[in-house]
C-alpha cells in the first residue's frame, strides 16, 4: 500500500509513528530504502538505538505519552545480532510487554517488532507503509495518551 492511498483515506489524520531501529541492521535498512527511493510515510520518526534490546519498555510508554500513535521496534534478524544475542532478549521482552498492553485493553496493533536487515531496504519501506496504514485505521492513540502533552 502506498503512501498516497493512506493520504486519500485519511485526509486529516496522519498517525505519528516512532520506530526504534538498531544501528547495525534496521537503521542501515532505512538508509537503503532511502537510497533506493522507496517511499514510506514521513510520519515515521526513527530513533537509532545501538541494539533493539536497548529499548526499555519505558521508552515505549514514553513514546505513547509524548504523542506517538504507534511504536515499532526493528532489529537484526534473530541469529544475526551484532552483539550475538541482543535481539533474542528483545523478542522475549516485547512479547511480554505487548501481551501486557493487550491485557490492559490497549490495541495490540499499535505495537510491533520487525526484523529488518541492512540489505532489506524494500522490506523496511513495506513494513513502515503497512504499519502506518494499520495505525491510521485505528485512529489516534487514546488509551495511552497523556492529555498534558496534547494541545
Partner 1 sequence: MRKISLDRINDLFAAIAAEFRLYLPVDTNGGARYEEWAEGKILSDELNTVRSAKDFFFPQTENLMDFKTEGKKIEIVDTRSETEDFVIFGVKACDVRSFDVLDRVFLAEPQDSFYKNRREHSLILSMACAKPHETCFCTTFGIDPSAPMGDIVCYKTEDALYMDAKTEKGAALLKKIESITVEDNGEAAEKQKKVIRERLEKLPLHNLTADRFGGDKTAEFFKAPEWKELSASCLGCGTCTFVCPTCQCYDIKDFNTGHGIKRFRCWDSCMYSEFTKMSAGQPRLTQLERFRQRFMHKLVYFPANNDGMFACVGCGRCLSKCPIQMNIVKVMKTLGKGEEKNV
Partner 2 sequence: MQAVTREILINKAAELLGNGTVDRVFGWKKGEFSYDVTPALFTTREAMDADFVFGDFCGANFSKYLVAETRKEGKVLVFLKPCDTYSFNQLLTEHRFDREKVYVVGIPCSGMLDTVKIKAVAEGIASVEDNGDRVTVHSLFDGDVTVSRNDMLPDRCKNCKSKKHVAYDELIGEDGEVIDSGRFDEVEKLEKMTPDERFAFWQNELSRCIRCNACRDVCPACTCEKCVFDNPDSGVENKAAANSFEEKMFHIIRAFHVAGRCTDCGECSRVCPQHIPLHLLNRKFIKDINEFYGDYQAGAEVGSRAPLVNYTADDPEPAEAVERSHHDA
Residues lying near partner 2 in the complex (CB under 8 A) are found at 57-58, 61-62, 65, 78-79, 85, 88-89, 91-108, 111-113, 143-148
Least distance from partner 1 to the Cβ atom of residue 66, Å:
6
66 or 92: whose CB is closer to partner 1?
66
57 or 67: whose CB is closer to partner 1?
67
Consecutive H or E run containing 148: none
CA distances in angstroms from 88 to 7, 52, 77, 101, 111, listed in the order given: 36, 9, 9, 20, 18
Are the CB atoms for 92 and 56 separated by under 8 Å?
no
61 or 122: whose CB is closer to partner 2?
61
112 or 123: whose CB is closer to partner 2?
112
- Binding partner selected for residue 151 from partner 1, partner 2, none, CB under the kind-specific 5 to 8 Å limit: partner 1
Are the CB atoms for 115 and 124 separated by under 8 Å?
no
- Binding partner selected for residue 68 from partner 2, partner 1, none, CB under the kind-specific 5 to 8 Å limit: none
Residues at the contact surface with partner 1, assessed by CB under 8 A: 66-67, 148-149, 151
Are the CB atoms for 120 and 22 separated by under 8 Å?
no
What span, in angstroms and rounded, lies between the C-alpha atoms of 130 and 148?
A: 30
Amino acid at each position: 500500500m502506498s503512501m498516497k492511498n493512506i493520504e486519500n483515506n485519511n485526509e486529516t489524520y496522519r498517525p505519528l509513528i516512532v520506530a526504534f531501529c538498531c544501528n547495525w541492521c534496521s537503521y542501515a535498512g532505512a538508509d537503503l530504502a532511502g537510497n533506493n527511493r522507496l517511499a514510506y510515510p514521513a510520519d515515521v520518526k526513527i530513533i537509532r538505538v545501538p541494539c533493539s534490546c536497548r529499548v526499555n519498555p519505558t521508552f515505549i510508554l514514553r513514546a505513547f505519552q509524548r504523542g506517538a500513535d504507534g511504536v515499532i521496534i526493528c532489529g537484526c534478524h534473530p541469529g544475526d545480532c551484532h552483539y550475538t544475542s541482543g535481539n533474542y532478549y528483545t523478542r522475549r521482552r516485547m512479547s511480554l510487554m505487548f501481551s501486557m498492553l493487550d491485557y490492559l485493553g490497549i490495541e495490540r496493533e499499535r505495537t510491533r517488532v520487525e526484523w529488518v536487515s541492512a540489505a532489506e531496504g524494500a522490506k523496511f519501506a513495506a513494513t513502515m507503509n503497512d504499519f502506518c496504514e494499520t495505525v491510521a485505521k485505528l485512529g489516534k492513540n487514546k488509551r495511552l495518551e497523556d492529555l498534558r502533552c496534547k494541545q
